[in-house]
Structure 1
Amino acid sequence: MKNIAIIGLGAAGLCALRHLAARPNFFRAVGFEQSSQVGGTWVYTPEVRTDKNGISIHSSMYKNLRTNLPKEVMAFPDYEFKKSLPSFIEHFHVKEYLQDYAEHFGLFSHAKTLFNS
């Protein structure tokens, strides 16, 4: 069995963790996220500089960002966005989708964030 560390639990990290964790006879996968939540670049905050733990805050988002790709193209093949959402969604819908994806596939038990390490 191989130990695998995934650094960052944005979209790519969550997808990798989902597929590696689904093969427990071959891999022991743990995802590491420096912030308190999954979602990577989709986690928006208006704050700048450092957070209360001294970690640099970086957000590529801005308050009113909408995606420039339709959600139908952005979705993982085995997990759709909510059908009730419009095709071009706001950043917080993507973050919610990634958090729901992690919950749906039981990824939080394989994740270490800043507050659950």
Structure 2
Amino acid sequence: MLQTVKDAETYYGNVTEANIDNKPPVWRLEYTTKEFYNMTDFSPQSWSALSDRLWKDKELFRKFMKNYYRNDFNNVCYMDDSCRRSFVCAMKQARSYDETFCAGLK
């Protein structure tokens, strides 16, 4: 039987808050990947479509970078086309050395 990933959830916990009362952190849902990025599924086609949207939509890419860095976002990469191209190209590549899939990122 074929197993597929249906969604991914990202949680966070406030360590400072937990340390105050010497209790385990309270885990809170940050986002679900499908909902946040408006994806229908986790197929290769959906990831490819997301990478295309990240290339075209700088605001979506900014949000992606914020999630990528887990809200420790002190990076202006989303404003730099060269840096954005590197991230999006890495998502599109079938092999790390092959930039064939990145040719349209101009």
Range class of TM-score, shorter chain: under 0.3
Under a length normalisation based on structure 2, what TM-score does the superposition of the two structures give? Answer: 0.27
Under a length normalisation based on structure 1, what TM-score does the superposition of the two structures give? Answer: 0.25
Q: Point out the structure with the larger helix share.
A: 2
Q: Which has the bigger relative contact order, CA under 8 A and spacing at least 6?
A: 1
